[in-house]
A and B are shown apart, each in its own frame.
Chain A
Amino acid sequence: METFEVFRRSGHKEPFEHCGTVSAPDAEMALLEAKECFTRRREGQHLWVVKRSDIHSFKDESLLEIAADKSYRFAEAYRDVVTKRSQARSRGRALPEKARSST
């Protein structure tokens, strides 16, 4: 018997999500078990089963930590956009009429 990880997708707009595990002698049987265990109430329209031994992950999940300060990758690094916007607008309004015209 092998352990299979089960992934389920509820529709075409959703990603596959892990929903549990089953143990089975082969993939065909694993799919049948997964159908009975995880989709009795139309919770999914698509099922995947993957042998657990075929899944690879980091031994040490701390390796997933971001090594240095990379706050510039996140939206919250740009929160001062509101004050910046009003500063830039008042600067723009202060310019002479000629400089503000597009021609």
Chain B
Amino acid sequence: MTYEDKLARFNAHIDGGGKVEASDFMPDDYRRGVLKFIEMHANSEIMGALPERECLPQAPTLLRKMSLAAKIQDEVGHAQLLYRVAEDLGKSRSAMYEDLLAGKSKFHNVFHYPVQHWGDVAIIGWLIDGAALVTQAALLDSSYAPYTRVLKRICSEEQLHLRHGEHITLMLASGTESQRDLFQDALSRWWLPIIHFFGPRSNVEKDLLLRWKVKTRTNEDLRQEFLDRYVPKVLELGFMFPSPVPVESTGHWIVKDQDIDWAPLEAVKKNRGPETTRRLAARRDVYDRHRWVREVLAAPFTYAA
């Protein structure tokens, strides 16, 4: 069978709703695209642990500290699952790690921003994890089957994180004026990055990941689902959105394209976000200091003679 024949069969398989396993034939562009996508997801999980870790010392009670630490552990666990799935597509974990630290691969925009106080923990846990859950739940039906299997576990843990984040939000929202101010201040800083999180409008004609059903829905579709689900909940608690302010229209909460300032996202994509350099340096520092652990564990154990 020629490569063209295999490609035609692959396309027909995908069009018919077929799934792909790591050992199956797949076009080079499919392999590269899926690898890059999962690698970016894995990078985001491990980089996403950092902003919340920075907030740990500010936890108001010991219980909050322990539950946030458990959530951070989950995020690192997600990275482990995802790197393992990506490895089976032909790139070693150490190569992925080196590329991340060298700024050659990407991680999600929201993790390039600073955290200031406990209000940020509420925003990250509720709205950012809420946004992540909308995108990840849409991927449960991805054509790359090994990815969907780890996503099942990731999504169930994200559900818990969402509840955890909402719990913190509700405590602040029903607390003193200064507690409410914490949430409002964090919302004002995070709203634009959250809108960016879903990315600009998808180019359906050119997006190979959509063509091959690795991604199943467009960026704007996912953003719309998030807005419809979360905007009313935030308004109900009496908080206010900064620009781009969502407006209600024909049963949906709309943010107009022309109201979105995309410049900060463009900077983040070039690894020039406000915290990019410092976070990557923090990750590099941990990676270097833990090198001896990796080396000890990788060496086969032998008793001294």
CB pair B297–A37 under 8 Å, yes or no, is no
Return B120 CB to nearest CB of chain A, in Å. 25
Interface membership of chain A positions 35-47, coded 1 if the CB is closer than 8 angstroms to chain B and 0 otherwise: 0111010000000
A23 / chain B contacts, CB cutoff of 8 Å: 84, 87, 93
Task: State in angstroms the CA–CA spacing of A46 and B164 once bound together.
Answer: 28
Task: State in angstroms the CA–CA spacing of A47 and B75 once bound together.
Answer: 22
**Chain B 70-87 interface residues, beta-carbon cutoff 8 Å to A:** 73-74, 77, 80-81, 84-85, 87
A20 / chain B contacts, CB cutoff of 8 Å: 81, 84, 149-150, 153
Q: Which residue of B lies closest to A18 (CB)?
A: B149
Q: Which residue of A lies closest to B160 (CB)?
A: A41
Q: Is the interface of A mostly helix, strand, loop or mixed?
A: mixed
CB pair B298–A22 under 8 Å, yes or no, is no
A15 / chain B contacts, CB cutoff of 8 Å: none
Task: State in angstroms the CA–CA spacing of A26 and B301 once bound together.
Answer: 9
B305 part of interface (Cβ distance < 8 Å)? no
A1 / chain B contacts, CB cutoff of 8 Å: 298
State which of A3, A24, A25 has its C-beta within 8 Å of the C-beta of B299.
A25
CB pair B84–A36 under 8 Å, yes or no, is no
Interface size class of B (residues with CB under 8 A): 10 to 19
B238 part of interface (Cβ distance < 8 Å)? no
Task: State in angstroms the CA–CA spacing of A25 and B300 once bound together.
Answer: 6
Please give the number of chain A residues whose Cβ is less than 8 angstroms from any Cβ of chain B in the complex.
Answer: 16
Return A24 CB to nearest CB of chain B, in Å. 8
CB pair B298–A25 under 8 Å, yes or no, is yes
Q: Which residue of A lies closest to B93 (CB)?
A: A23
Return A57 CB to nearest CB of chain B, in Å. 9
**Chain B 290-304 interface residues, beta-carbon cutoff 8 Å to A:** 297-301
Task: State in angstroms the CA–CA spacing of A37 and B149 once bound together.
Answer: 14
B150 / chain A contacts, CB cutoff of 8 Å: 20
Task: State in angstroms the CA–CA spacing of A29 and B73 once bound together.
Answer: 19
CB pair A22–B84 under 8 Å, yes or no, is yes
Task: State in angstroms the CA–CA spacing of A25 and B77 once bound together.
Answer: 19
Interface membership of chain A positions 1-41, coded 1 if the CB is closer than 8 angstroms to chain B and 0 otherwise: 10100000000000000011111111001000100111010
Q: Which residue of B lies closest to A22 (CB)?
A: B84
Q: Which residue of A lies closest to B83 (CB)?
A: A23
Chain A residues engaging chain B, CB cutoff 8 angstroms: 1, 3, 19-26, 29, 33, 36-38, 40
Chain B residues engaging chain A, CB cutoff 8 angstroms: 73-74, 77, 80-81, 84-85, 87-88, 93, 149-150, 153, 297-301
Identify the 9 closest CB pairs spanning chains A and B, nearest first. Answer: A21-B84, A25-B298, A37-B77, A37-B80, A25-B297, A1-B298, A25-B300, A29-B297, A20-B81
Besides A21-B85, A37-B81, 11 other A-B contacts (C-beta < 8 A):
A3-B88, A20-B81, A25-B297, A25-B298, A25-B299, A25-B300, A26-B300, A29-B297, A36-B77, A37-B80, A40-B73
**Pairs across A and B, CB under 8 Å, 29 listed:** A3-B87, A3-B88, A19-B153, A20-B81, A20-B84, A20-B149, A20-B150, A20-B153, A21-B84, A21-B85, A21-B88, A22-B84, A23-B84, A23-B93, A24-B297, A25-B298, A25-B299, A25-B300, A25-B301, A26-B300, A26-B301, A29-B297, A33-B80, A36-B77, A37-B77, A37-B80, A37-B81, A40-B74, A40-B77
